[in-house]
Structure 1
Amino acid sequence: MTVREQDRRLLLYGAALVLIVALTQVRGVWAAQLLLVPLLLIVPGCLLLRALRVPGHRVAAFPLYVPAASLVVLMVSGLAVTLLVPLVDGGVLDAVFGPAADPGAPLRPGPLLAGLMVTCLGLFLAGVRAPEETAVPWRSLPAAGWLALPLLLPLLAAAGALRLNHGYGPEVAIAAVAGCVLALVLGVLRAGRLGSGRSAMLLYAVSLAMMWSYALRGDLVYGFDIASEYAVAQETVTSGIWVTGPHPDAYGAMLSITVLPAGLHALTGLPVLLVLKVVYPAIFAMFPVGIFHLARRFLPDQWAFAAAAFVTAQGALSQQFPALARQEIAMLLFAALCGALLDARLRHFPKAALMCLFGPGIVVSHYTSAYFTAVMLGGALVLQAVLWVMRRPRIAPRAVAAALLPGLLAGVLWYVPITRSTANIGEFRTALSSEGLRLLPGAGTAGTLLSAYLRGTDVTRIPTYLYAKRVVPKYRPPKASVTPAADAGDPRWELGDAGVPVPPKVAPAVSASLDLGVLLIQQLANLLGLLGALVMAVRRHSSWLVRRIGVLAVPMLGVLVLLRLSGTLAAAYNQSRAQLQALTLLSIAMFWLLHRVSAAKFPARLRRTVYGLTGAAVVVTFTTGSGLDNVLLGGERATNLSTRGEDCERYCMYEAELAGARWLKEAARGSPDRLYADRYAQLRLFAELGPGRRIQTDITPLTLDRTAWVYASWANTAVGRARSLFDNQLALYAFPADFIEAHYDLVYTSGVTKVFHR
């Protein structure tokens, strides 16, 4: 690179920073917001990577470094602002940011923009003398048409979700999902000829389309955990303060749901709601792309695409992760950490620097992702010691230790003195000591140990009569002291059943065969992942890089087995979320084994057959996980393809319900009376009240206190169903409307949402 080219690149970065500053001045304009989001996710990361002397060809080979590094810069600069601005004299702030500046509320547009610019300028100066190899070869990206064409799928999915929100038919949503299936088929068939850039764009488009199809449902956020996350993020933006803790919710201080969304809101002008519903899924959609580029280090392009597509096909990616804002950020940083750890062409300093940034970034984003990462790295060190005893070639454990130690140190500092948020560890320790591991808790009702293992520790249904009987001691001394109505035990108030009607299957035999096939695919995938990881780890002729991915994947498998066997561990970390994190490396081990065996043992025609069957398995898994199979074969449709159904009753929040929650927030402020809402009605309260107010979720005549507040959602009043989780079993019963109306006053109604009190 000539000096002139070097100057041109520096000028380009400088112009990008000036453009960010200019656009933030008109951030109320949608066009400015549309430009600001990608600029904020690209420019800071590029400056950081250049300052760390990461070679440009390594960035081009693993583009996930860029958004991951940008997230780190945004969190660090925002954290610096919230810690340093209160130390600055108020007069200085008024002179710089105007009379509205408040040193007690630093998370505002002026200070956050200044903090980001100071950080970026520091990185810019640190990269001025960077060698020419740090230049990113942007020309290696696909043409603009290929960059834009696959993104039509997410827009189609967004349109389908918004139409469903307004009561229109599912035709557009179905077309979007069908388009995703066709895109995956195209990728499986043509990935070897499309090139890495085009294949990556297909994966990104499919992932984002599926996530938006869920995330954009409802008037507020969609999902369970994200209701509390939204309340925390909104409170951070409103107050302008990052509260370190302690919090009623152990996750309340996470930078991923406080400083980061506050920064994106302040800099782009986007409401917090759109940051969580639109921007976060757009960031996390890079996760399968990262797996694809990581897999390319071990596999040909077509097999690498199949490995990443298998991860995209998991229902958890599209259904659960858009409802887990903090884990979306943590998982992206986890993939970036794996990318740095397994980058054989990255020199020691930039590799160590990246791991020192991404590891602590996981810690401040999500607890259980950090714990899983620590188990993976710690288990890899132990397994490396075992391999050394077995006289296998050395694989340089220093890199694994360098990835583990910064995260451990950051975890100790973050969880104890900074946020004082060790409550989740204490709760897990208490549950473990009182309940033990609870191995295969459903074995008594599953029939056989094999069927119990296949079902795992998933939540099961408890009969209504059994729930009504067993839940009462939970509200009596010594656990609690609830005084029910005098006639609460009268037989006329007996709790009734309430099932969810499911449309009949058009072809029950075909549907059952498809479900069985997907189950077999998943179990075969687990077996192949185990075999692939073990072969990678112990095979004598494996390169050190292949051996490293094996020793990292084996501890992940151990955790997955424990989560499937133990109800206590599964309650601490959801199985499907843990499996998706593990698939970051397990998918590579699985497809590496298939590729190696077919290439070594089979003729060319048979190798193509093996790959074809593998691709078909991926497409079938995606078809069932996306809900398209029920559109074709009948049965209950998923939320992304219907305006009705159990998940829609649970997670889709609408303005009429939220208005009732806001009214209750003011009416019950300071009231000592207990607050009741069923398991999913409480999400509306979480979104408005935050996680601080204790909510009882068992609405039965014998568990309702006689002076309680009772919040009833649309599903309770219009549909007549209530839900509760008791002893890790789901109770689904008829909402006791007659009892409540006979014993409590109706103090608020929005038509379908009601609030009762006495």
Structure 2
Amino acid sequence: MPSVEITPRTNRRGGALLLSLLLLAVAQAVVALDLDEPVLRPAIALATFVALPTVVLHRRALAGRSGTDRALRLPYAFGLAVLALVVGGLLLDTVLPRFGVDRPLAPAPLAVAWFVGDAALLGWRRHVPVLTRAELRAGGRRLLDARFELAPTLAAVALLLSVVGAIRLNNGASGVVAVAAVAVSGAALLALLASRQVRSPSYDGWVIVLVSAGLLLATSLRGWGITGHDVQAEFLAFNLTDQAQNWEMSALPSAYNACLSVTILPTVLAQTTSLSGLVVFKVLLQLLFATVPVLTFLLARRFLPRQLAIAAAVLTIAFPTFFTDMPYLVRQEVAFFFLALVLLAAIEGLRTRTARGLVGVLSVGVVLSHYSTTYVLLMALVAGLLGLAVLALVRRVRGREREPAPALVLLHPGVVAALVAVTLAWAGPVTHTGGHAGEVLHDTVRSLTGQGGQEPGSSDTSYFLFGDSTSPQERMHLFVEATMDYRAAEIPPRLRVIPDPGAAELAPEVHTQPSTPVKVACAIVMEGFLLLGLLRLLRRRRLADDGDPLPREMSLLVWGSMAALGLIVLVPNLSVDYGVLRAFQQTMLVVAPVMAAGMWMVVRKRVLAAVVPVALLVVLAGTQERIALGSSGSYYDRFYVTDAEMGGLTWLGEVDHADRTNERLIANRNLNVRLLALSGNRAPISDRLYPTLLSRDAYVFVDGQILDQGESTVFYTGDLLTYRYPLRAVDRRLDLLYDAPQARVYR
């Protein structure tokens, strides 16, 4: 009798659900009560806020859907769980204040909200088990039978060495361990690429993510505080949200504050886990970004054999921006994570309605995470749609019938229109941060129509054909002219520290760091591989002889992404505002498989196909002026803050509070955000450290780069210009108020 069999199972399921809800309630009570349990609290929070939703969505949301294999369901589930932290936090922040809750992002509201959400997930589709006994037994057997294998063992060792190397450097030791970490990382990837044994995507993915995490942590863990460029402003935006337990655009009317990837997301993680913001930024969000090369690998294996798919991931990691700058661009790291998932969902072959829904939801994560990533994506999509229209027109002119092809997903006009609408709404009426984008669009149109100015583009375009060739000295001359114009308009003669600038101020010596032959050679090799891959794609639909044909949508995305990158390289204001290397790193998420295919056209041997991408990674990671490898180089001089320097900044922040009649602070742009944070986000701070811009009505902070190296750096037209700073002239004309080995304050 059916009822006799069904009832006991139903009762067992009901009992298991009640037990699960009870355990979940206890776990969320630990979070809600804000209990300070150093290990238990973070583990519980990550398990209930991230792991549990991921596992349930993995087993129940996409199970049995056409075209979705088991290896791909997990990334989608994880991405949706992370997106829930962002969107859920935003909903609480919007709704709860209307009911008198002033701190909607405090542990208690978050715990209650996620208890309700987790309980709903556990009760949803209960006929699909989250975990079966057979799977538990199989997992236990695999754990008992596990053996040390070369590639994952080396990858784990490389991760450990990266962390130890960063800590040693922070303590003043040498970079031997950090350099060894790069070598072992290369060995791990070489072992993975050279293996002929058939491996599961999960096995390959673990090796890739461990190596990626090691390279990222080697950079992010440098310094006991927040070290880097953009991450300073990102961390300030986070601190304002975290301390208030509430996100408000008015707290910091800036595009940084509009990026929920560095405000609400880290606040939810910090509030629920009780981990410090430093740990969230330096570790947790880096581990999130470390999954992006794995997503590139999963995308590439759709139409490339295993070895070339892994090579595509390695080439993504080898691009220098990945390990030198991305740890300092957390908002872009999170946006790239969602973008990689969007690309994967668009190409995987899901049922059209499911794919479009998944792409639409994950695209919201891109929009909420980072404005520039969204704009570059829209440029690529518009270019792809134009390409689609041109192909249709050519086919019609030639009288050819339309070939049957899979329905468009990401490039569907409705999806693109929805993405544009969400972007405009977020940048417009919600955050009011779209003004700069409008200015960039206006300047771009003027440049394309020949009506723009003669400002140079970013020096990063010099690595590309038709890139800008303006020399550093010429850029410095333009910058000095701009300072003199500002000085004449804004600084009265009586307040000018240097009334009659001489050669030291008007034509300072510029310290240039020409690209090494090795770096140039690597750039040429990678660009050559990409060009060959594009030529193959133009001639044939298959990137590899033994691979599947490239889907029409993927081809259009490749060409659209290249068109967007070309526009950024060629239009000066775009290269300055959006950053060429960062745009190329974003483009790599799409074109890395094409680059790997171009590499195969040259090497044609398995051994070389393993050695070449790893060699590029090791050479680029080992020859860059990386702060991760030693206590020297331009990034170290500009971004690494010593205890003495921090003491001077702290003193200056307190002085400004004590004397509100003197409301101006002048410092290098790399320290301005620190000063803003130390002054409680109240002190007006100016990036006017260049000698011709100094004024007597302000405190002037002189940093360690000037005191140790005699140099300072300005950021102009997308380029870093390091010049000889005339400290003696400043010393003669201003009073010294604070003096430390790497910090001085003048007035």
TM range, normalised to the smaller chain? Answer: 0.7 to 0.9
Q: Please point out which of 381, 385, 393 is paired with 2:385.
A: 381
Q: Structure 2: how far apart are the matches of 1:299 and 1:594?
A: 12
Q: Please point out which of 642, 664, 667 is paired with 2:630.
A: 642
Query: Letter of the aligned partner of 1:411 in structure 2?
Result: T
1:218: Cα distance to partner? 1.3
1:428: Cα distance to partner? 1.3
1:598-624 deviation line (CA, Å, top 9, x unaligned): 9xxxxxxx84x2x43333321221022
Which residue matches 2:724? Answer: 734
Q: Please point out which of 122, 125, 132 is paired with 1:124.
A: 122
Instruction: Tell me, yes or no, if structure 1 residue 518 matches structure 2 residue 522.
Output: yes
> Does structure 2 retain, via aligned residues, the 8 Å contact 1:321–1:327?
yes
Which residue matches 1:534? Answer: 538
Query: Letter of the aligned partner of 2:477 in structure 1?
Result: L
> Does structure 1 retain, via aligned residues, the 8 Å contact 2:497–2:694?
no
1:727: Cα distance to partner? 4.2
> Does structure 2 retain, via aligned residues, the 8 Å contact 1:676–1:696?
yes
Secondary structure of the 2:440 match is helix
| TM-score in terms of structure 1 length | 0.84
Which residue matches 1:462? Answer: 473
Q: Please point out which of 46, 51, 69 is paired with 2:55.
A: 46
Instruction: Tell me, yes or no, if structure 1 residue 615 matches structure 2 residue 610.
Output: yes
1:336: Cα distance to partner? 0.7
Which residue matches 2:228? Answer: 223
Instruction: Tell me, yes or no, if structure 1 residue 77 matches structure 2 residue 88.
Output: yes
Secondary structure of the 1:615 match is helix
After TM superposition, the structure 1 = structure 2 runs for residues 712-731 of structure 1, keeping only pairs within 5 Å, are 712-731=702-721
> Does structure 2 retain, via aligned residues, the 8 Å contact 1:468–1:700?
no
The alpha-carbon distance between structure 1 residues 677 and 134, as it changes in their structure 2 partners (threshold 3 A), is farther
> Does structure 1 retain, via aligned residues, the 8 Å contact 2:303–2:550?
no
| TM-score in terms of structure 2 length | 0.85
1:722: Cα distance to partner? 1.1
Q: Please point out which of 697, 701, 705 is paired with 2:695.
A: 705
After TM superposition, the structure 1 = structure 2 runs for residues 5-404 of structure 1, keeping only pairs within 5 Å, are 17=24, 20-21=27-28, 24=31, 26=35, 28-30=37-39, 32-33=41-42, 36-37=45-46, 40-48=49-57, 52-55=61-64, 58-61=69-72, 63-89=74-100, 103-129=101-127, 150-190=155-195, 192-245=197-250, 247-344=252-349, 346-389=350-393, 390=395, 391-397=402-408, 400-401=411-412, 403-404=415-416
Instruction: Tell me, yes or no, if structure 1 residue 625 matches structure 2 residue 629.
Output: no
Query: Letter of the aligned partner of 1:157 in structure 2?
Result: S
Q: Please point out which of 672, 680, 703 is paired with 1:682.
A: 672
Task: Name the stretch that deviates more: 196-205 or 666-675.
Answer: 666-675
Task: Name the stretch that deviates more: 682-691 or 650-659.
Answer: 682-691
1:619-671 deviation line (CA, Å, top 9, x unaligned): 221022212x47xxxxxx42111112211011222343233333333433555
Task: Name the stretch that deviates more: 316-325 or 700-709.
Answer: 700-709
1:695-749 deviation line (CA, Å, top 9, x unaligned): 4434344321121221222212233221112344433223332222323233334
Provide the alpha-carbon RMSD of the alignment. 3.9
Q: Structure 1: how far apart are the matches of 2:18 and 2:223?
A: 44
Q: Structure 2: how far apart are the matches of 1:621 and 1:44?
A: 38
Q: Structure 2: how far apart are the matches of 1:528 and 1:20?
A: 54
Q: Structure 1: how far apart are the matches of 2:106 and 2:458?
A: 56
The alpha-carbon distance between structure 1 residues 219 and 351, as it changes in their structure 2 partners (threshold 3 A), is same
Query: Letter of the aligned partner of 2:670 in structure 1?
Result: Y
Q: Structure 1: how far apart are the matches of 2:423 and 2:200?
A: 40
> Does structure 1 retain, via aligned residues, the 8 Å contact 2:458–2:572?
no
Secondary structure of the 1:378 match is helix
Q: Please point out which of 473, 490, 496 is paired with 2:484.
A: 473
Q: Structure 1: how far apart are the matches of 2:645 and 2:388?
A: 54
The alpha-carbon distance between structure 1 residues 667 and 377, as it changes in their structure 2 partners (threshold 3 A), is same
> Does structure 1 retain, via aligned residues, the 8 Å contact 2:293–2:317?
yes
Query: Letter of the aligned partner of 1:68 in structure 2?
Result: G
Query: Letter of the aligned partner of 1:420 in structure 2?
Result: H
1:110-129 deviation line (CA, Å, top 9, x unaligned): 11111222222233333435
1:197: Cα distance to partner? 2.0
1:19: Cα distance to partner? 7.1
Which residue matches 2:399? Answer: none
Query: Letter of the aligned partner of 1:706 in structure 2?
Result: R
Q: Structure 1: how far apart are the matches of 2:340 and 2:134?
A: 20
> Does structure 2 retain, via aligned residues, the 8 Å contact 1:219–1:654?
no
The alpha-carbon distance between structure 1 residues 207 and 399, as it changes in their structure 2 partners (threshold 3 A), is closer
Give structure 2 stretches of 5+ with no counterpart.
1-5, 396-401
1:53-84 deviation line (CA, Å, top 9, x unaligned): 45486342353213311111111221122122
Q: Structure 2: how far apart are the matches of 1:587 and 1:457?
A: 25
> Does structure 1 retain, via aligned residues, the 8 Å contact 2:155–2:185?
no
> Does structure 1 retain, via aligned residues, the 8 Å contact 2:447–2:571?
no
**Percent of pairs with identical residues:** 25
The alpha-carbon distance between structure 1 residues 7 and 523, as it changes in their structure 2 partners (threshold 3 A), is farther
1:572: Cα distance to partner? 2.1
> Does structure 1 retain, via aligned residues, the 8 Å contact 2:62–2:73?
no
Query: Letter of the aligned partner of 1:677 in structure 2?
Result: A
Q: Structure 2: how far apart are the matches of 1:691 and 1:16?
A: 42
Secondary structure of the 1:711 match is strand
1:175: Cα distance to partner? 1.4
The alpha-carbon distance between structure 1 residues 491 and 364, as it changes in their structure 2 partners (threshold 3 A), is closer
Task: Name the stretch that deviates more: 543-552 or 144-153.
Answer: 144-153
Q: Structure 1: how far apart are the matches of 2:651 and 2:333?
A: 32
Q: Structure 2: how far apart are the matches of 1:246 and 1:427?
A: 24
Which residue matches 1:94? Answer: none
> Does structure 1 retain, via aligned residues, the 8 Å contact 2:496–2:693?
no
Give structure 1 stretches of 5+ with no counterpart.
90-102, 599-605, 631-636
The alpha-carbon distance between structure 1 residues 310 and 172, as it changes in their structure 2 partners (threshold 3 A), is same
After TM superposition, the structure 1 = structure 2 runs for residues 583-622 of structure 1, keeping only pairs within 5 Å, are 583-592=588-597, 607=604, 609=605, 611-622=606-617
Query: Letter of the aligned partner of 2:724 in structure 1?
Result: A
Q: Structure 2: how far apart are the matches of 1:85 and 1:126?
A: 26
Which residue matches 1:633? Answer: none
The alpha-carbon distance between structure 1 residues 517 and 483, as it changes in their structure 2 partners (threshold 3 A), is same
The alpha-carbon distance between structure 1 residues 481 and 16, as it changes in their structure 2 partners (threshold 3 A), is farther
Which residue matches 1:416? Answer: 428
